[in-house]
Structures are given as structure tokens and as C-alpha cells.
Amino acid sequence: MTGTGIPTPKTLQQAIDAAGGPIDLLRTSNMGTTIFPGIPPEFTNWRDEQRAWKESVALLEQTYHMTEMRLRGPDVMAFLSELGTNRFDTFAPMRGKQVIMTGPDGKMISDAVVFREEEDFLRVVGPPTAANWVQFNAEKTNYDVTFERDENMIVPRERRDVYRFQLQGPHALALMQEVTDGTLPDIKFFHIGEFKIGGKTVRALRHGMAGQPGFEVYGPWDDQQAVREVVEKAGEAYDLRKAGSVTYGTAAQESGWMPRPLPAIYEGEFMQSYREWIPARSFEAAGSLGGSFVSSEISDYYVDPFEVGYGNFVNLDHDFIGRDALARMKENQQRKKVTLVWDNGDVFDILRQSLTIDGPRSKFISLPVPMYSSFQADAVMRNGQGIGISNWMSYSSNAGSMLSTALIDMEHAEPGTEVTLLWGEPNSRRRTVEDHEVREIRATVAPVPYFDKSIKSKAGDKTVAA
């Protein structure tokens, strides 16, 4: 019972009902932005840690913050193909895939990276929004599939099944070649290789995260100290920088990946049973929705795979949840993903106004990650009219500017277009948000991914590919 005598909600649906709707539930949550546990905010300083993935090599820790679902059984691929929009007929063992999962309306629930290690065994690694959806469907499927859930370590515990870290940057390949016992295998993009470091067997997925190609290295939990010692010792010659938790939160910005959109689960009859299954203590129920974009319709905060840039991951040649809706959406796209480069002068003015004791304050801009909500949504304007939503933002030392990833109307998405972002949260009901006035920040539309199409080109493309 709560202090008012009203039963404490046990499920997401009960929490929504108690709050008066999903908007009221999320807009009154005091949860802040993403937490990356297990590591300090900075190992050195976040400016140099950011520069490492452009100039040398960065080690990005992934052991603690992601939830892993381990699926086994002869029907794992049939099961996965009903959840994912992707093409799976060529998805062989020892390969990885970024899997996109949608609801029946075609709007995104989550994405995750799937590691298919054996014919009948795979790991689904990503946010809790992905793990929850996979587990819910695994519990009720008729397919021959079993699952084990390896929760993230936001609540600390002694161990997990595997450790996991990424090496990204122009020197990542050379470092990997040096630390490998023998010869580093030729690992193609999004393939998994197996080899040894310091006498310990490791696996590595070849892909990039911070706008640079690199390696996601993982192995048995008890082997990590030996592996890390070899990598960090050899890394000294390559100016290896370990990225702290505040730096990790900025890594997606330059690559254009839009982490953790608001899952499209908060309304609709089809999702009713899912909302009744998700605990009230879950991230989906406890997370906060914040920012200057305000709507009474929760669906206005949803995104679809096409506008987020995942069109190539949508294969309509098989049945999956959301297929029919995506077939209709494909030819009727309204928005496009872009980078917004904030005006430095406006950012500096807002910082000054947020700290003044004379006159109305602005919403503080925390560096390098100014987001203050689990699901950030800030209004993007042009000529006084709303044209889109800014979803993810951080300062980039490599760009020398604050950047945000946004979805805006296609007619305004041409690089160089000048727009305005509204910074602040009008009439906020959250104690974690200080009293302030909403301010305008001028911004310029730029391409996605910003690292490849702007940072490298400005540097004369001197960055060496890993």
C-alpha cells in the first residue's frame, strides 16, 4: 500500500493507471539519464578520452551496463525471426547482427546486438527494453527455445557470464595484432573471431561504435584480468585511453546511433498483456520522459526503423511483429535522422544564464552529456514551427561543439539548414529539474554519421582506418 491507501502498482499497466496515463507516469519520474555502472566517470579526463577514438585508441567498457539474454534450442532462429525485422537466412554461426524489434504498429521497441555463437545458441546483448521483450515472448512461445537472463550490474554483484569491452580508433588494429597470441585472424565486419590474448581464449566482434571501426572483445569472466593486463600494458605504446562512464555516454553521438528510443509499448490492446507482464520496478515503468517537446499523445514520442536509419535492416520477405505496418510506412516517410550542431555562443550564454543569481535562470547544460531524462525529447523549430525532435545529445571534443541526433521533417533536413532547438522543460513536475525558462539555441543541420561525413573530412581524412 502507498501512504494514501492505494495499492502499490506491481506492473507497468498498473503504474500507468495509477498515474492517469503514460505521459503523466513518465513526466513525473525523477529518474535521470543513462547510468553506466562499474567504472569511474573519468579515468583521465573526458576530453582526451573522446579524442582517443579519433587520434589513437579508446577502450570502452561494456561489461556492466547491458543486459544479456542467452537463448538455446533448435528453434532459436525461428523464434528470433518473428521478433526481428532483419533478414536472417544468411545469419550463420560466429556472426553478429544488430536486430531491430518493433510492435504491431511498426514503431520501435528496441534494438540489440545478437551474437550467434553456435547453431542453437546466441546472445542478445543490449538495453533492458530489448531483454524484456525477448523474455516476454520466450516465455509464451511454442518454439523449442530456452533462455537465461544475465542482468546488468546497475545493482552490483560479484560476477557475470562474460566480460566485454571495445577497442576503437585508428590504432585499434595495430594494438590487437600486437596483443594476439600468434596471428590475429582476418575478421570481417560483424563477424566473430576466436583467438588468444595472454593465453586466454577470447572472441571479438568486428564493428564500430564511435565512428571508427574496431573490436568488441569478450570472454569468460574469470579470464578478464589476464586479458586486460596484456591489452593495457601494450596499449601504452599506442596512447590507449580508457573511457570513463561520462565519456562512454558520448560515444554514440559521432556515429549517429540513436540509443534507446522510447519503446512503443505504452498504449494499444496488442501490448496490454506485455504491460501487465512488465514489473512496476522496470526501466520502462520507472524511466523519465523529459525535454521541451510536449505532447498529450505518447505515440508522438515513438520512432520507426526507417526514419532512424534502419531501413536496410527491414526485410519484408518474412513474417514478424510489425511487418504489415512497416510495409505501409516504407513509402510514406516524413522524417529523417540528422545531426544538429549547436551554436557555441548560444550554449555559452545559456551556461552563464543558468548560473546567474540575477534574473531568470536557464536550464543548466551539463558537460559532456546535458541530458537529464531517461528519454530526452526536445523540440526542433524553424520559422516558429515545430519540425522535429532532438533525442540524444552530447559535447564532442572532436567536433568542438555540442551535437544532437534528431529526427526532423525531410523538407528541412538538408545539411546547412538553420534551425532552433528549445532547451528546457516547460512546467516541469520533476524535482530533479530546477526552475528555469525555456531558451532557444540556434543549430545547423549536418549529416549522419557526423564523424565520417564531417569530422574526418575537416581533418583532411587523415584518420587511419582500423
As annotated, the binding site for substrate includes 216
3-state secondary structure of 305: helix
Alpha helices by DSSP H, listed for 288-420, are: 305-308, 323-329, 344-355
3-state percent breakdown (helix, strand, coil) of the chain, nearest 5: 30, 30, 45
Residue identified by cell 496515463 is 21
3-state secondary structure of 106: coil
Give the residue numbers of the binding site: 216
Q: Which three cell numbers stand for residue 256?
A: 549517429
Q: Which of 440, 383, 376, 461 is nearest to 417 (CA)?
A: 383
Residue identified by cell 504489415 is 324
Q: How far apart are CA 78 and CA 82, in angstroms?
A: 7
For residue 147, the Cα-to-chain-centroid distance in whole angstroms is 23
Burial class (CB in 10 A: 0-12, 13-18, 19+), 359: exposed
Are 251 and 212 in contact by the 8 Å Cβ rule? The answer is no
